[in-house]
Each structure stands twice: as structure tokens, then as C-alpha cells.
């Protein structure tokens, strides 16, 4: 059994539990900040330190295992500045990124953001790409970002890498990625009513019939 402290109160929990499981073991009912419980949603950002060690550390509660004399404080989310912008009135350029996030220029490459990432993303590298205006590289390198906010919590300059990466992915998707002709064709067919009868048929099916249809569907092989 390990001694841990939740909001200053001491508890004993079995070794091997995640922070999330340990809190529930102690009787906490997690409604917010629990999400998927499998490190996919980024909802369970947690601040912790240790007895006689005031250094603040950050992790996802569903990933991090509890340790002896751990002090825990869970917050619903990591608040960070997110400017408003209209994607339809923007251009996919480095100047546009710096116009919205001028603080990006203050990044000095400490790599705290990368060290804090629960997905092991090279956050500092795509921040450097953003600084150079390489939107495509930012979009590719940050693709697996789960928007947990731990990188922003660790940045000594107050930057918000995950929001900057989100902007770049939006610009990439809106302006850089080639349009898919077959998708445009399919949307046109839907708007023309080509599939109205099939949609109506599905809407009138029972849940069991829908499950059977789903199980019997044709799956395209690569």
C-alpha cells in the first residue's frame, strides 16, 4: 500500500493504480476530467508533486501510476489563451500564424513542451516549424495531439503549443490539402437525392436490423 494525498488529505491505496483509479479507490466520483480513460481524450490533466519536493509535475491521470507520498490536485482542464479567428479570411502563411500568435517568437527551445507530452510528440520541433511557417510539417508532426494542455502548463514563456498546432492543422486542411474529387462527387450525388430511398429504408429499420446490416456490410480491402 502507498500513502498519497488528494487535496491535502492522506489516503492509502494499492500500488500499481493509476491516479484516476486511485482517486476512485479513495471514494472520489469522477464526473469531469475522466473522459476515455485510455489516454486518447486528454481530459484528465493532473498536477502533482511529492512530500518534501515542491517541484510541480504534470501528467494524465489515466496514464500516470501513483507513487509513495504523491500529492495530487486534479483540475477540470488546463486553461490557455485561444484567440478568435475566421479561417475563411486567412492565408496559409507563417506571417498569418505570427499575427495570431506573436508570442511564438519568444520560444527559446527549452523542450519542456516535448518532455511533458503524454503522446511523446516532438512538440518543440513542430513549434520550430510553425515559427518558420512550415504549416504542413506542423500538421503532420502534431497529428496525434490530444489537446490535453500539458505542454502549455510547462511552457515558461506562456505559449500554447497545442492551440498553435490546431491552427496549423486547420490551415493545412482548409488551404493546403488537395480537394478530393470523389468526395465532391459523392456530396453532389447526396444533394441530388440519389440516396434518399436508401436513407429512408435505414431510418425505418429496427436496431437489430441495423446491426445485421452492419455485420453483413462489404469491407473494402487495401
Could you tell me the CATH number of the domain that includes residue 29? 3.10.20.30
| Of 77-81, 90-94, 213-217, the least confident | 77-81
What pLDDT, in 10s, does the model give residues 141-175? 999 998 888 888 888 888 999 999 999 999 999 99
Burial 114-143 (b: 16+ CB within 10 A, else e): bebbbbebebbbbbbbbbebbbebbbebbe
Instruction: Kindly state whether residue 221 falls inside one of the protein's structural domains.
Output: no
Instruction: Kindly state whether residue 26 falls inside one of the protein's structural domains.
Output: yes
Residue ending a domain, choose from 52, 74, 96: 74
Instruction: Kindly state whether residue 116 falls inside one of the protein's structural domains.
Output: yes
pLDDT at 222: 55
pLDDT at 129: 93
Judgement on whether residues 171 and 103 belong to the same structural domain of the protein: yes
Q: Is the pLDDT of residue 76 over 70?
A: no
The total number of structural domains that make up the chain: 3
Q: Between residues 80 and 47, which one has the greater pLDDT?
A: 47
Per the structure, the complete domain to which residue 208 belongs is given by 182-215
pTM for the predicted model, two decimal places:
0.70
What pLDDT, in 10s, does the model give residues 173-194? 999 888 888 989 999 999 999 9
Measured over the CA atoms of residue 125, residue 127, residue 132 and residue 136, the dihedral's sign is positive
Instruction: Kindly state whether residue 7 falls inside one of the protein's structural domains.
Output: yes
Amino acid at each position: 500500500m502507498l500513502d498519497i494525498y488528494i487535496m491535502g488529505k492522506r489516503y492509502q491505496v494499492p500500488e500499481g493504480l493509476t491516479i484516476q483509479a486511485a482517486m476512485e479507490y479513495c471514494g472520489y466520483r469522477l464526473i469531469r476530467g475522466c473522459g476515455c480513460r485510455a489516454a486518447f481524450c486528454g481530459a484528465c490533466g493532473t498536477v502533482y508533486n511529492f512530500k518534501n519536493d515542491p517541484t510541480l509535475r504534470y501528467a494524465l491521470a489515466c496514464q500516470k501510476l501513483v507513487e509513495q507520498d504523491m500529492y495530487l490536485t486534479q483540475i477540470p482542464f488546463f486553461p490557455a489563451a485561444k484567440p478568435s479567428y475566421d479561417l475563411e479570411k486567412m492565408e496559409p502563411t507563417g506571417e498569418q500564424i505570427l499575427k495570431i500568435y506573436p508570442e511564438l517568437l519568444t520560444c527559446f527551445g527549452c523542450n519542456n513542451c516535448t518532455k511533458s507530452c503524454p503522446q511523446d510528440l516532438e512538440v518543440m520541433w513542430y513549434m520550430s516549424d510553425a515559427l518558420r511557417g512550415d504549416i504542413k510539417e506542423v500538421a503532420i508532426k502534431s497529428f496525434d495531439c490530444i489537446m490535453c494542455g500539458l505542454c502549455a502548463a510547462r511552457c515558461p514563456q506562456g505559449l500554447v503549443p497545442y492551440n498553435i498546432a490546431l491552427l496549423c492543422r486547420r490551415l493545412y486542411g482548409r488551404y493546403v490539402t488537395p480537394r478530393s474529387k470523389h468526395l465532391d462527387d459523392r456530396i453532389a450525388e447526396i444533394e441530388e437525392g440519389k440516396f434518399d430511398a436508401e436513407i429512408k429504408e435505414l431510418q425505418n429499420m429496427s436496431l437489430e436490423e441495423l446491426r445485421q446490416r452492419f455485420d453483413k456490410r462489404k469491407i473494402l480491402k487495401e
